[in-house]
Structure formats: C-alpha cells, structure tokens
Structure 1
C-alpha cells in the first residue's frame, strides 16, 4: 500500500473514529441482553426442529457441530461431500448425489440442510437444469453420508441459506427467480415467498428471529424482510459501497457487486458484507475497489459514512506512474479521502466467516487465491489486512509460470475448526480442500507462515483444457489474462454484473481514422486524453448459454469469433489497457482457447421453467413472430434469438447528457441474443431501459414496429420475452 502524508493523517483519524465506534458498540451491547428467540410453535409437526448450530448461515463449506466432519456443497460435480476430520487421503470423502447442483449446505446437530438450484434430468453436468429449486432436509448416516428426510419445492435457482435463531425456519434465496422464501422446518412446508430485486444471494436472520437482511449480486442496497414469522414483507435498505472512498455521485454509491456472502457479529449488532464497490476511487481503481461494508443494525445505517466534504488528493507515486504516459497535466484518475491502494487487499470476495476469539473476519479472495484476515473492529476492515494466507502458495507473477498453476484455485467456502485455530477452505477451480493454520495473534508464539496442507477432492470432471480455462476464468493473478480482476469479476457464474462499463475508444496508431478499444473503466471522468474518446457505454453481456455460436462477438461485432473476443479482453480489461496483441501468440492463444472451452463446457445456463405457456404468453409469442411486429426478423428463434448481424439504431439509443457519441457516428450494434432476457436487466448497450416493460413501451418503430400494439398486447409481448 502506498500513501501520502495527508493519507497517513486521515488514516490515523479513521482509526480513532473506528476505535471509538467499537468501544461505544461494545458498551451498548453489554449493558442489555439480546432479546430471547421467539417461542417455537406448540403445534404437532412431522419433523422436530433441528438442534442448535454453530453458525446460522449456510455456505459452500460448513463444519458439523455434532461430529468430526465437514460438509461441502460441490456444485460443479452435483454432490454433497462428507469429509471426515482430520482429513486423510486414506479416508476419502463420501459423495452423496443430489438431484441438481447444490449451492449451500448448513449443518445442525442432527440435520443437514441443502439448497439445490434445480433439477437436472441429464447425466451431463454441464447441461441446463430446470425448476423448481429445492431445500433438502437430510440426516447424517455413517455409511451413506446423508439420507434424505424430505424436500420442499421453491422458486428455481435456490441458492442462499440461513435459519432463524430457534432453528424453526429456513430462509432461502433464489437469484434467478429474484425471490426469497421461508420454510417451516417442523412441517417442511413453504410459509411464504417474496419477490425482491434481481440476484438475491446471502441471507442473514437477526437474533430476534423476526427480521432478515438479503444481499444482492448486482447492486449495493440490501433487502430487509420483516415479520418472518407472520405476514412477511420486503423493503429496500440503502447501503452505499465503500463510503470512505466513493464520491457522492448516486450512481457510483449504488454500484456494488459480488455480495455473495454476509455475516453478523456475535452480538448481532453489525452486519459485515464483503463486495466490490465499482464507484470507489484509488490509485488502481479502473474497476473500483473491494470493500467490507458494515451495517449498524440497530441504527440501520452504514458504520462508515462519507465525509461532509470530498477532499481530492493525488498520490505522488501515482503521479509518477501516470507521467510516464504523458498525462501528468490532465490526470482525471484521482484518489479519494481515504488511504489509496495500489494493490487490492482481496479480489472477488466469495465467502466470509467471523472468528470470535480474535474478533477478525476471514474472507475468501476468489481472484487471488488468498484467505485474508481483517480487523472486524475497524471502521473499514478492507483498508488493510492483518494477515494474508496465500493458498496458491507456489504462485508468483513471473511470466514463466505455467498458466493456471495454483495449489488452491478460486477459494469459495470457509469453515473454522472448533478451537478456531484452523480454517478449512474449499478451492473450487482446482477441486481441493486447503487446511490453513491461522495466526493466534499471541506475542508469546509469533506466527510462522507455512503453505497450507492441500487435500484433493478427486479428479476434475471437465476435460483438461476446460479445467485450465476454469482456473483462468476465476483467477485475477495471471499476468496476461487480467489486471486485478478476473473474468468472474464482471461475469459472475457466467451471468452479468448489471453494470454499464465505459470503454475508451482510441484512434489506431497504425491507421489514421480507424478506432479501436483502448481500455475499459467502471466509471469515466469528464476529462479526455488526446486521441481518446471517453464515455462510450458498454453493458456487461451475459455469457452462460449464449456463446455456442461461432461469431461474431462484441457489441459492435468487432470480433469474428469468441477466441478473438477473449484475446481482446486481455487487453482492455486492465488499467490503461494493454492492447490485445501486446503479447506473443504462444502465450495468448492457449489461454484464450482454454477460457473459451470453459465458457462453452463449464458455464451452466440459468434454470429453465419446463411448463405450459399461459394464454397471455402464447399471445405474446404470436405477436413476436408476426411480420407486422417484426421482432423475429432480427431475433431469429432458431439461432438463439439473434441473427448476429449489425443493425443501425440511430442516436435515439443513447443519452446525450451522459455519454459522448460513438466514434464516427457509428450507431450500428450486433443484435443481442434474447435468451435469459428476464434476468439480465438493464437493456440496450447503454443500459438505458431499466425493465422489459420500459423497453417495449419506448420502442415505437425502432426495433420492429410495436407502436400500434394495445396496452394488453404489449404486456403479452413482455410476458413471452420473460419465458425465453
């Protein structure tokens, strides 16, 4: 980390504020006992409520409170694994086949709960799965590993899992169906389902058993659910990303992604959410900054708040770097009012646990193959790490390293030993379990770093090239593929981050009048460097289920095939760009071909709903295929609902108040696929239509002819589009 003198002063002030806040929080919570959990229903039930648990939030990996074992939801291989402790290669895990990909597991004393994203009817693990989602209730079994007691059907894509303090109710998120459901664990009946904004992920129940918070993968705001035990209702809770490092611009403050996980402090007073703040500023912030944002639950506001005034500083180290490019007089990339970071503390946070004995947080850094330990009492724990445990161990940034070479790729789940001296980490992309000895922070026994023990979970089901592609897809350390952000940073699970990025278009050095992409940034500044055209909007496209075609690819159809598009990404998805051909073909092409293989073989499309269409949806399908409406003219049903041709849209498609024009007035864009359209808002290349309803309402005669349709017909057309 590099800082200026002003930054050191501010960091000191920040620390004092954090200590005061922590002391105040501890005093207030110690003076009054937490409210008792609600009384369990006295009504007879088919299934007794589960015994007490270690943690109330599910995850990819958990430890059992009643037996020496871990339970792992292995989504890629469609099994739940029981791993006996201590882990020993002579005692391999017991794999329990699931009806579809399991996302989260939670162990109680006598039960194991598992969310299953959907039902897969094919033995091909890369094939799509169908709704409904499931909550499985199982019991441990010495021989079989797990035996199913019952299952509850839920909205498709069941993913996040938590239980209330009395263990009577399970809460489940369904990202693709944008829903949260509650299940009575006594009767195994669904109590309710609420519609919430897209991509709900982590869910955490408060100690009172009546309220829960839900994070989202594509926005900063949380969803609060009240009256869990009655007439449940959902409400948005503003929760800006990285307030100490983000300007007051509302678009920046709401731009937070990758909130896969969340955890409460032991007293329930603070909610910790690791995520990526796209609007945060810093020395290396082309894509924002990673953060752990803290919600003060009692006051329901962020623990860290933006300063009354925004003091802009330029770090001298960054001024020196940028001057090498001749931009020292017009540098718009400025640091914010908190310590500037040249390197990330973590990248693509995937899981988090609270370590009570040290009052620290452990965050799985998916992009850097690290387990990062942070101070849970800090105002902003993500400003610096107490300890980084390198799970990759042998990796370095030396270009001679073998691509994808890591001992623990894409850490995805964390579980603590009973004494909290050891962390178990699921390495998703390398299919291993890492066993990490943690720092005790005891002066009498200084910590001596050592590589983690690695326990193999068996062979990879993917072919060798696609398996390499998966490691590269999640990894942000590869010197050529990425610069502090992996493919999964913008395309989580092959879906999209819901963000409109801004692409720098520059004039070619080789050909006058020819423009090409230079670099891409989460947010553009108003200034422009000579030779660059700033502010060209490019929404993140969805990949899963949309990359079977040969080509072309890119919003402008710039790439004739997918391999070319991946190589282009190596250049523009980094600070100041790097040029797609700035490295030799013997290094770029094998990496691109591996990522391509994984994108087509390993990225699983969202769930389908295999059901009969409603009368309204059937009416919409007729309208879609009607030549007088014209949707199917470009969005051909037989080829993923696109003819992949460039179509001229004209200047109506952009907001002149926000964006500069396209280079040379080129308003032609490749017809996008409509597959999985309902779950990938906003729409258009610039995200200017927030909903499908808005898109159809505004269309007129721009794409086909919908201006003559009645209100009922437009609604029917939207209903059909949501089935694709």
Structure 2
C-alpha cells in the first residue's frame, strides 16, 4: 500500500508535540554491494542511444533536464506515484512515464545518458537507460543498494563518480559511474540532504536538515568536517528584556531546514544554502509559547553563502538584522520562505531560485549579493507543494515541479536584465496521475496543512507543523515553553498506539495535543474536517526503513536485547515492546530542570531512538551512549554494565 508514502510529498513528508522549529548526531549507513538486484550489469546496453545530459548539469534534483535531438526534455521524479514523467519543455507536453521500483527522491542524468534515481524507501538507486524515442519508458538496468534513505545525488566534474547522500543512513556514499560499484562511504551527522561538488572535484558540500551545520567532505581523504552555518541576531530583543534605551542583546540562532544547495562557478565558487535561522529561547527560562517570544519571530528565512575555498560562510549572509517587517504582529509585504526545498542558479542573470513550500512560490535572489535574503528580485507564484526546479539555460526557462498539485510549471526567464522585470506568466501543465481515493484526498489536504507556513490558524508567526517536524521527524532543538524546556519529538512512526501525547502526558489524543500546540503558537485553530485531515496525515507519516540486519552485528543486537530486558538493567520495565516501547505513564526520574513546572514526564516511545538525538525532555544528552550512562539509578541501571554490555545495549536500541 502506497498511501502514506504517496502523501509525504517530501517525506517528503513531513514529520507528539506538533510544536515548533533544528539541532545533531547520526548513524553510519549500511554496506552497499553492486551491481544490484539479480547481479545485472548497470552498463549501457545501447551506448549513444537516447537523450543526453544538459552540458554542465551534474547536480541531482526532483527535476533533471536532458537533450533529445533538438528537444529539451525534463525528467520529473513523482514520489506520489513512484514514477518518472518525461516532458517536452518547449511545448509542455507530457511525452511518457516510467514506473520505478520505489519512491523517488532525486534523479540525475549521467554523462552517457543513463538516468540514476534515488529510491528513498528502498535504500537503493535505480539505473535506467533511455530509448531513442523519449516518449517510450526508460529501461531499468539495475538496482544498487545504498545506506538507508538515499535522498540526493551529484556527479563529480570528471563524470566518473556518483555521490549519494542518505538521510536516515547519515552517510555520503561514492559509486563508480561506469559500473555503479560502491567505492567508499563517509559517515555524516544527522539528516544530510543536498550535495554539490567543488569545481576541482576534491570536496563535496552537504546540507543538513538539523544541526546548524553543513558538512564538507574531503573526497581524497574520505573524511568530513563540519561548517557552522548558524547565525547571530544583533540587537535582538526577548520578551521581558526590552529596555527603554540600548540596542538589545546578541542572540544565537540555529540553522535548520537545510534541504537544498546550489553552486555557482560564475561567482567565485559560491555555495548557496537556503535555510531558516531559529531562536528557540533559553532552556533556563519559561516562555509564553514555543521560543523566546521576543519582538522578532522565532524563525527567519536566510540564505547562507559559503565560499568553497575557505569553507566558511560570508558573515553578512548569516546575520539577522532587526527589521520591522519581520516583527510578530507586523504587516509583512511578503510571506517569508520558511520551508525552502530546492535551489538552482541561472548563470546569465546571476540569480538564485529557491522553491518554498507553504507559500507556494519560487523566490529569485541576487546571487552576487553578500546577503541574498535581503536582495530579493521577484517571486513566481506556483502550484501547491513546489519541491523541484531546474534552469533551462539554453531556452531561458525555469522548470518547477509542484508535488502536491501534481503540476509542472514552465516560466520564461528572458534576457540578462529580466530579473528586474515583473514575474513572467507561468505555463502550468497538469501531469498524469494514478486514480485517487477519497481517503487519499483527505491525506493530501492534511499534507498541505502540515506544510502551511503563514497560516494564522496554525501560528501567528509563520511557523508550520513542518517547521519543527521536517520530514515528519524532529528539529533536534529544545524549545523554551510555558512549562519549561521541551525537546521536539519525532512524529513519523511514533504516533500510533503511543498516547498520551506531550512530554507531560496531558494529551489523551493527537487532537487534544494539537489544540494546546495551536494555542501556544498563537493560532486560531482549524475547522473539524481540516483538523481530522491533519491528524490523519500526521499518523500516516512513513518512518524510515528499518535498519537492515547485519549478520556480523546480529549477535551483538541479540545480546543487547537480553541486557535491555534483564531485571538488573530494568529498561523494559517502562519501555514495553508490546506497548510501542512505552508504558503510557508519567514518571519522576529526577530529571526536572530549573525551569520545569512539573517533575513527572511521559515515557517516550523508543521507536527509531537511534536517530533522534539529543535525548530527554530538555535535550540534555547529546548521544545515546551519554544517555545510557547518565541515567543510572534514576531510569534503569547501567553502572554495573561492562563496555561490551553497553555496546550491545546501544546496538539493540538502535535496531528498534
């Protein structure tokens, strides 16, 4: 059944606390073998036949362009139906479709014309070959395993290496393009997404949804190093700290929503990272909602500009400037792009284009500006759910895919000075789709509401459910709330059978917890049908594929299971396997923080606990190991365990 996958649009998808805002830590991916299922060859059967890549196009995307004779065609990855649409960009005519073996996230056209697609739900890439006639389906050559949840692709400048970033697998994996055999793998922190390669082919830059970071991977040394892309708000104000005189305080903002990257060779090797800079408030202080509650909103849109040589962001691009247009309650001339999902550069106009979920627009920025966010040129209204775009440099067109409305948009860009003109007329092309049911229609409504930024019924400061629960998961942040510090929980795969909801366990149902959340966010609330649709979507969110069983690790996991359920350790006394890894009760485990109102906290489910650091209601433990050691005597007993037993216990918990 594809229902929950189909509606994830980005988990797309999206993401108990439908709260608000992004923080760290990851898992290494599983070993991948090649060439793939049935040991079929990934090499071309008919070299030279069919479409070829557009010159210089090596970064993967939901939309990828190719040349078929004199035509420019677009390959569009449709995650709802699990197929690729082939479209003539000049006419807007859909030429054909290709059914895939799973849910696609991104695709890229190799130098020899093969199309490589990341199958997000299958932990694999599928390699396909084009026919001479672009209207005919692509021919599948092979399927190659990857670490869990491959999400983004890129090839190196020499066209010899394919790089695949895996979100839940937390890795960057390299494959030889000719054979598609895995050559090496580099572990990364939590939730990596978009990837681009430096001009010299020596480094890869990887965006992260959480953690306030970008990873720079040395492709020769096969090591990753972090780059902090968080920001500073100078002269910011927090509620209760506004003086009559002076310029306010300096507030550190965390970066999240790092889904997309774009690279420019024309502007001294700039890497562009559309993101959101977040002020979650101080853990030691209570607030009136989620965050500090200051004059500026908790989340502001930003575009970090990183120099590929120095590997550091330009300071101007990550500094938040006080601006009356961003203040809570003020009239904003244009809604902010708080859910950026795709980005591309137009070299002719030196423009950066970014798709924005929630406000259903593509924003064009001056890519030469020190701070592109404050150099917006124009924006294109598009259909709901824009998740992919590509620039047709030769035809001077922008091609945008809106997943929620299943619509492809083609907009003329004009000449080099066109960026100063009004937004052009956009041609909308509805692509074919499989039959829909009434139940799926409700889930699609829920998906739109989940990603609805700027909806006053949900929040009064622009935040959407997906702001704090990107891809239905968590932002790795701890928020100041009226009850004390609260770490955002993961939603996908965790809502079913885990009531009550919220860290204090007051929400008997998802609906009740949502009502409290909307109130704290200053939202007016949804109508009954809309609320039902949102709850249906949230509870249908597809979790990451379960960890593969590694025979070499199975004995360790089984030993960890014995340790977990032993009377001496006591983990299983509250985390019941038959109860979705919770006992559905609140306990005082001596974890009360200074700002907490209460001392008892709901037992959280341990589903997917290995990928949701930090831990505890206030995020005090950065890693699973530090949690296991730190709670001895208050929540289970681990002091008596040897290193081997701790290794086994951690391995077992990561397998849940």
How far residue 341 of structure 1 moved from its aligned partner, in angstroms, is 7.3
Structure 1 residues 148, 316: CA separation in 2 closer, same or farther (over 3 Å shift)? closer
Among 500, 506, 510, the alignment partner of 1:558 is 506
Alpha-carbon displacement from aligned partner over 1:377-416 (angstroms, at most 9, x marks no partner): 111111242102122xxxxxxxxxxxxxxxx112100122
Structure 1 residues 435, 314: CA separation in 2 closer, same or farther (over 3 Å shift)? closer
Count of aligned positions: 579
- Which of the pair is proportionally richer in strand? 2
Among 306, 323, 326, the alignment partner of 1:295 is 306
Does residue 76 of structure 2 align to residue 72 of structure 1? yes
Does residue 125 of structure 2 align to residue 116 of structure 1? no
The residue number in structure 2 matching 1:627 is: 567
How far residue 60 of structure 1 moved from its aligned partner, in angstroms, is 0.9
| Matches for 1:428-439 after TM superposition, within 5 Å | 428-438=403-413
How far residue 417 of structure 1 moved from its aligned partner, in angstroms, is 2.8
410-419 or 634-643, which deviates more? 410-419
Structure 1 residues 194, 550: CA separation in 2 closer, same or farther (over 3 Å shift)? closer
Does residue 400 of structure 2 align to residue 425 of structure 1? yes
Does residue 446 of structure 2 align to residue 469 of structure 1? yes
Alpha-carbon displacement from aligned partner over 1:421-460 (angstroms, at most 9, x marks no partner): 3322111222222233446574899536546524244257
Does residue 430 of structure 2 align to residue 447 of structure 1? no
Asked whether the 8 Å contact 1:246–1:279 carries over to 2, the reply is no
TM-score w.r.t. length of structure 2: 0.81
How far residue 252 of structure 1 moved from its aligned partner, in angstroms, is 2.8
Structure 1 residues 639, 623: CA separation in 2 closer, same or farther (over 3 Å shift)? same
How far residue 688 of structure 1 moved from its aligned partner, in angstroms, is 0.5
Asked whether the 8 Å contact 1:553–1:562 carries over to 2, the reply is yes
Q: Partners of 1:177 and 1:312 in 2: how far apart?
A: 36
SS of residue matched to 2:558: helix
Q: Partners of 2:563 and 2:647 in 1: how far apart?
A: 11
Q: Partners of 1:708 and 1:249 in 2: how far apart?
A: 47
| Matches for 1:634-653 after TM superposition, within 5 Å | 634-650=574-590, 652-653=591-592
The residue number in structure 2 matching 1:368 is: 359
Among 397, 414, 433, the alignment partner of 1:458 is 433
Asked whether the 8 Å contact 1:282–1:341 carries over to 2, the reply is no
Q: Partners of 1:237 and 1:95 in 2: how far apart?
A: 40
Q: Partners of 2:560 and 2:149 in 1: how far apart?
A: 25
The residue number in structure 1 matching 2:381 is: 390
Q: Partners of 2:487 and 2:261 in 1: how far apart?
A: 27
Q: Partners of 1:694 and 1:471 in 2: how far apart?
A: 38
Among 617, 622, 626, the alignment partner of 1:690 is 622
SS of residue matched to 1:605: coil
How far residue 568 of structure 1 moved from its aligned partner, in angstroms, is 2.5
Does residue 597 of structure 2 align to residue 606 of structure 1? no
The residue number in structure 1 matching 2:344 is: 353
Alpha-carbon displacement from aligned partner over 1:319-357 (angstroms, at most 9, x marks no partner): 9x69xxxxxxxxxxxxxxxxx978544221100110111
The residue number in structure 2 matching 1:381 is: 372
Asked whether the 8 Å contact 1:369–1:475 carries over to 2, the reply is no
Asked whether the 8 Å contact 1:357–1:420 carries over to 2, the reply is no
Q: Partners of 1:184 and 1:370 in 2: how far apart?
A: 37
Structure 1 residues 242, 438: CA separation in 2 closer, same or farther (over 3 Å shift)? farther
SS of residue matched to 1:641: coil
Structure 1 residues 154, 641: CA separation in 2 closer, same or farther (over 3 Å shift)? same
SS of residue matched to 2:482: strand
Asked whether the 8 Å contact 1:496–1:542 carries over to 2, the reply is yes
Structure 1 residues 369, 52: CA separation in 2 closer, same or farther (over 3 Å shift)? closer
How far residue 557 of structure 1 moved from its aligned partner, in angstroms, is 1.3
The residue number in structure 1 matching 2:139 is: 147
Larger radius of gyration: 1
Among 586, 596, 600, the alignment partner of 1:668 is 600
Asked whether the 8 Å contact 2:105–2:117 carries over to 1, the reply is yes
Does residue 256 of structure 2 align to residue 264 of structure 1? no
SS of residue matched to 2:80: helix
Q: Partners of 1:539 and 1:371 in 2: how far apart?
A: 32
Q: Partners of 2:175 and 2:56 in 1: how far apart?
A: 20
Q: Partners of 2:320 and 2:360 in 1: how far apart?
A: 34
SS of residue matched to 1:302: coil
TM-score w.r.t. length of structure 1: 0.74
The residue number in structure 2 matching 1:124 is: none
**Which ranges in structure 1 are unaligned for 5 or more consecutive residues?**
1-44, 120-131, 323-339, 392-407, 506-535
Q: Partners of 1:676 and 1:711 in 2: how far apart?
A: 23
Asked whether the 8 Å contact 2:389–2:399 carries over to 1, the reply is yes
Q: Partners of 2:105 and 2:366 in 1: how far apart?
A: 28
Q: Partners of 2:405 and 2:104 in 1: how far apart?
A: 18
The residue number in structure 1 matching 2:228 is: 238
| Matches for 1:524-603 after TM superposition, within 5 Å | 536-549=484-497, 551-573=499-521, 577-578=522-523, 582=524, 587-601=526-540, 603=541
Structure 1 residues 352, 283: CA separation in 2 closer, same or farther (over 3 Å shift)? farther
Structure 1 residues 448, 223: CA separation in 2 closer, same or farther (over 3 Å shift)? closer
Q: Partners of 1:417 and 1:284 in 2: how far apart?
A: 42
Does residue 650 of structure 2 align to residue 718 of structure 1? yes
| Matches for 1:301-316 after TM superposition, within 5 Å | 301-305=312-316
Q: Partners of 2:252 and 2:175 in 1: how far apart?
A: 36
**Which ranges in structure 2 are unaligned for 5 or more consecutive residues?**
1-41, 238-247, 281-291
How far residue 696 of structure 1 moved from its aligned partner, in angstroms, is 0.4
Q: Partners of 1:284 and 1:355 in 2: how far apart?
A: 36
